[in-house]
Amino acid sequence: MSSEEGNAMKTAKTVMDADGIERSLTRIASEILEENKGVQDLVIIGIQKGGVSLAKRIAQKISKSEKSAVPFGILDITLYRDDILTSNKKPKLGITDISFSLDNKKIILVDDVLFTGRTIRAAMDALMDFGRPKLIRLAVLIDRGHRELPIRADFVGKNLPSSLWEEVAVHLTESDGVDEVIIEEG
């Protein structure tokens, strides 16, 4: 590869493996239970697409340890994005499935990577259209910094300082066949 241009080799580094992800989710699940003192009024909502499988796993861990099913929903935030009308190109809409009331519920919002905070802003606006929750907490597997809005996570799997030109990718068995978090630099 002698050409200088157009050959920016991407170097990928694994920052979290399957065991690491599993341990983080187990810890997050128990932190949620500890803070909430049980499953009373608790609901778990995963943000499309990266947060859905993580939310499902956290919900399963909580349901298993408390022997009581915790409601689980899926939220697509596309229609609430703040950049939706800046281009004619439209993101593909995902499914939203919240088949229970959010009134007076304690919502644990789950996403894979917390970055600018804009997705979480959109998600909170969307949730408010479904009802008036008692509170919303945020759980993320990776917090990579670079916030553009005053938003922070309550439960974090791993803080991963990153530069803006790096890409953080969370791969999960359900969608990618493997559990890993990698960081790529251009």
Partner 1 sequence: MKLSKKDILGIKELSQDEIHLILDTAESFLEVSTRKIKKVPTLRGKTVINFFVEASTRTRTSFEIAGKRLSADTVNISASTSSLVKGETLTDTAKTLEAMNPDIIVIRHSAAGAPHMLARLVRQSIINAGDGAHEHPTQALLDMMTIRMEKGTLRGLNVAIIGDIAHSRVARSNILGLTMMGANVTVCGPAMMIPRDVVKLSVRVSYHMEQAVKDADIIMMLRIQLERQNDNFFPSDREYARYYCLNSNNIRLAKPDVLVMHPGPINRGIEIAPDIADGAQSLILKQVTNGVAVRMALLYLLAGGEE
Token pair listed for 89: 């190109």
The residue count of the chain comes to: 186
Interacting stretch for partner 1, rule CB under 8 A, among 63-71, 123-131, 138-146, 175-183?
A: 123-131
Per CB under 8 A, 72 contacts partner 1: no
Q: Pick one of 1, 8, 85, 164: the residue that binds partner 1 (CB under 8 A).
A: 85
Q: Pick one of 3, 86, 177, 186: the residue that binds partner 1 (CB under 8 A).
A: 86
State in angstroms the smallest separation of the CB of 85 from partner 1: 5
Closer Cβ to partner 1, 67 or 90, answer by number: 90
Number of residues lying near partner 1 (CB under 8 A)? 22
Give burial (CB, 10 Å; 0-12/13-18/19+) of 24. Answer: buried
Q: Which phi and psi (to 5°) does residue 55 adopt?
A: -60, -40
Per CB under 8 A, 38 contacts partner 1: no
b/e per residue, 83-113, with b = 16+ CB within 10 A?
Answer: eeeeeeeeeeeeebebeeebeebbbbbbbbb
Q: Pick one of 22, 97, 166, 185: the residue that binds partner 1 (CB under 8 A).
A: 97
Furthest-apart CA pair in the chain: how many Å?
A: 62
Closer Cβ to partner 1, 25 or 107, answer by number: 107
Closer Cβ to partner 1, 97 or 185, answer by number: 97
